[in-house]
Chains A and B, each alone.
Chain A
Amino acid sequence: MILIELIKLYTSLFLAFFVPGYFLMRAIFSFTELKEKVSAIEKLVITFGLSVASVNFLVIIINHFDIPITALSSFLVITIFSFLFFLVEKFFEPKKSKADTKENKSPLQRFSKKQIYLFLTIFVFAVVVRSFYVAEGIVPETTDLGHHMYWSKYIADFGELPNYGMPDFIIGEHIVFAVVILISGISFVSAVPVISLLLINLFSLLAIFLVTFRIAENFTSKKNAKLAALFSLFVIGTFYAISSPQTKFISGGVIGNLIGNFYIPFLFYSFLSALKFKSKNFAALFVLSSATLVFTHHLSTFVFLFVFAGFLASFLALLLIFYKVRIKEITVLLWKNISLFFSAKSLFFILLIALIMFFVWMPSYLNPEAVDTAVGTPTKSTRTGFPLGEMILNAGPWRFFYSGVSAIFVAAIFVRKFFKKRKSDSFVFVVSIAVILSWLAMIFLMSTHPELLKIDIPSNRIVSYFTFPVTILSSIATILLLSFFKKRFSKNLALLLFVMVVGTGVVSGLANVSDAARGKEPNRAKEVMETYVAGEYLAEKIPYKDKVLKDHIYLSGDTWLKIFFMQDYKYPLSRSLLKRYEDPVKKRETCTRDMVAIPDSEVGQKCFKETGVKYVVLKKGYDTAQFEKSKNFSKVYISDSVVIFKRN
């Protein structure tokens, strides 16, 4: 039985994350380009990115035509889409290529045996570290994941996309999960949501690997760039692997951020590849992936837009310096490169996305009110920026230090190249430097001094995006240092210095992993399942719309109760964390707190009457004494850790 379920899971994951993107990739890119410029690892990552994009837009389109979103319709639309692009590739793409030579192969296509072992060892280690942590919380229970899975289940249960009525959720966060669950037929209360998030996270590591290579290859040798890419995989995969935005985001179900953390490096990779190869197809990939990010996560889109704006400004400044203000030469260069993004394919995608956005589905956060709340001078203490010390801790001290070293290296390389004769690839060199420096600088500014950029978003949300530029830069710094040591010192001394650099990283980075492994609750899964069994029981027994109140403070996995009822996003009512009831700016409702804390008081009874709450779900022994003693409540359900009281 479990084997059949496992096969269904593999099939659904394969269909949602690989199949449509693979065929779309083969249709977007020419045969020659795929063979000569895109390595197998790149193809794999592009396939993943395009699959998520395809599944999202396909489901949005079938929903627009009132076709119910079911297992069959999802399966058929993915299959038909893939088959159509298979035909496009088969009949319209010429299959001519030069002979296989070293020169016409992407450097990422060529790995030595040692590099392969290194790549696989790092990847396995990254997977294992994540899996051990994720396995502890494999029974889904976290608050964010519960909220998101309600909407995914809404799609699966009602066969249509939800009208959120709030800007907090974006449709791209839920479609893929709904499709995987629909096709596999497995319950939402399973390991499937966490497994899907783990896959997204692992592909974001590969995206970092690619973008590091693409950046580094423009100002160091191909060999060093490859080593820097491998080292970036090590740094992102194993150092500080548990902290945000890595494994904690997987377990926590921070879906939008995780998808955004894949697309942001992927976008820079496709952008740089478009300019590097003068490829209209990579430019089209950039356009389509940007749109997918817009439909998936507001904060990531916002961060990307700011970073990209910072890139444009710094790039133009560097270009003017590098080309000594030769405006005519610069204009020609700019037009030659910008025109890549206005090819027929790119324009087709732009038109398609515009049509979807204005006539089919507008992301819920794209309205003046929502934008207003994110832009402006921050006033709340949580939005006024992080002090430097916390930034360092958040990025990881080792990564932070070496990204600073790398920034100095990169600046020095820029100055050195400035005094040398310009080559044909100088434009991409300036682009690469501007990308990585502005990526680092903009997120640093957004996190520490949001008032300068008029950003009114919780700073702790933005700071998680700092991980990627510091990873890329610290990896490049390490390899450049190694190269420098090798040139200046004896082989043994160079090796010793390199081990010292990496060793401090290992100590700092892996300490985080071992810290995070402590303090797990061994009975947590059992408690969570008791909550779910209680939820199933209530959902089955009580009449529709009978009001339920549950406790968010002590009850394990309480947010997931809503997916057993599927009555409303805000059903059942919830007694929140106590600090949520204290807001000096805005008056908060307190009934959900008082109904649990003082059920028999005048206030409590008034609240019960006003809200119509009939059932209260609590953790056994936590705030239950007042209900036990009360004549107004009967205990109707009890297990080892969950109690349900009914109002008489």
Chain B
Amino acid sequence: MNTTIKKVRRVNIIISSIFAILVIIVGILFIFGEYKIETGKSGYTTIFFENLESTVNSKNGNFDSLSFSINNFEDQDNIYKISIFINGEEFDSFERKIASKKDATIIPGVEMREKVASINSEIDYEVEVKWKKNKEKIQKKIIK
């Protein structure tokens, strides 16, 4: 009889172990999933061209220069403020997570230029990328 009770206890060990395995695997998969989702949301830059388009339309294409700047916040790594300047004045800005310097330098790029050109090919504009870290300017790039 004692042997039987021992064996029954062993089965209960199986049940506890199954639950423990399930709890662990659910936890790991959930945390891993959240990590993948969070990292998937960042590491690239999104540009909302409609801001630009509405501005150009509202000004009837009547402006001399258009520029963008990207700056990171001093206390937050990888979070950058992307600003759109028209005639030297900040028109709009938004914040984005950027994974690396490489990502930041390609942001406005050629597509911005094409877009602006499609609205008004006569506009003289510039795209400016500023990179600041530890209060020092590391890189400045002008595409004209």
Q: Do A and B bind each other?
A: yes
Interface residues of A (CB under 8 A from B): 2, 5-6, 9-10, 13, 39-41, 44, 99-102, 105, 108-113, 116, 119-120, 123-124, 127, 131, 134-135, 138-139, 189-192, 194-195, 198-199, 202, 525-526, 528-530, 533-534, 537, 541, 628, 631, 634-641, 646
Interface residues of B (CB under 8 A from A): 1, 3-5, 7-8, 10-15, 17-18, 21-23, 25-34, 36-37, 39-41, 43-50, 53, 111, 114-115, 118
Give Cα distance in the complex from A124 to B17, angstroms: 10
Interface residues of B, dominant DSSP: helix
Q: Which of A10, A199, A528, A638 has the most CB of B within 10 A?
A: A638
Give Cα distance in the complex from A138 to B31, angstroms: 10
Task: Tell whether, in the assembled complex, residue B14 and residue A111 are in contact, meaning their CB atoms are under 8 Å apart.
Answer: yes
Give Cα distance in the complex from A134 to B36, angstroms: 13
Give Cα distance in the complex from A585 to B39, angstroms: 46
Task: Tell whether, in the assembled complex, residue A191 and residue B34 are in contact, meaning their CB atoms are under 8 Å apart.
Answer: yes
Q: Can you list 11 residue pairs at the A/B interface with Cβ under 8 Å?
A: A6-B30, A9-B30, A105-B8, A108-B11, A110-B8, A111-B7, A138-B36, A191-B33, A195-B29, A529-B37, A637-B46
Task: Tell whether, in the assembled complex, residue B36 and residue A525 are in contact, meaning their CB atoms are under 8 Å apart.
Answer: yes
Give Cα distance in the complex from A628 to B117, angstroms: 12
Interface residues of A, dominant DSSP: helix
Q: Which chain A positions have C-beta within 8 A of B30?
A: 5-6, 9, 190-192, 195
Task: Tell whether, in the assembled complex, residue B41 and residue A529 are in contact, meaning their CB atoms are under 8 Å apart.
Answer: yes
> In angstroms, how far is the closest chain A Cβ from the Cβ of B98?
11
Task: Tell whether, in the assembled complex, residue A537 and residue B46 are in contact, meaning their CB atoms are under 8 Å apart.
Answer: yes
Give Cα distance in the complex from A6 to B114, angstroms: 46
Give Cα distance in the complex from A6 to B33, angstroms: 12
Give Cα distance in the complex from A314 to B8, angstroms: 38
> In angstroms, how far is the closest chain B Cβ from the Cβ of A593?
26
Task: Tell whether, in the assembled complex, residue A199 and residue B14 are in contact, meaning their CB atoms are under 8 Å apart.
Answer: no
Beyond A10-B26, A526-B40, whether A101 also contacts B53 by CB under 8 A is no
> In angstroms, how far is the closest chain A Cβ from the Cβ of B8?
5
18 further A-B pairs in the complex, CB-CB below 8 A; given A40-B11, A135-B29: A5-B30, A6-B27, A105-B8, A110-B4, A110-B11, A112-B7, A131-B25, A138-B33, A191-B32, A199-B26, A529-B36, A537-B46, A631-B118, A634-B49, A634-B53, A636-B49, A638-B47, A639-B47
Task: Tell whether, in the assembled complex, residue A190 and residue B29 are in contact, meaning their CB atoms are under 8 Å apart.
Answer: no
Give Cα distance in the complex from A99 to B45, angstroms: 70
Task: Tell whether, in the assembled complex, residue B28 and residue A202 are in contact, meaning their CB atoms are under 8 Å apart.
Answer: no
Q: Which chain B positions have C-beta within 8 A of A124?
A: 21
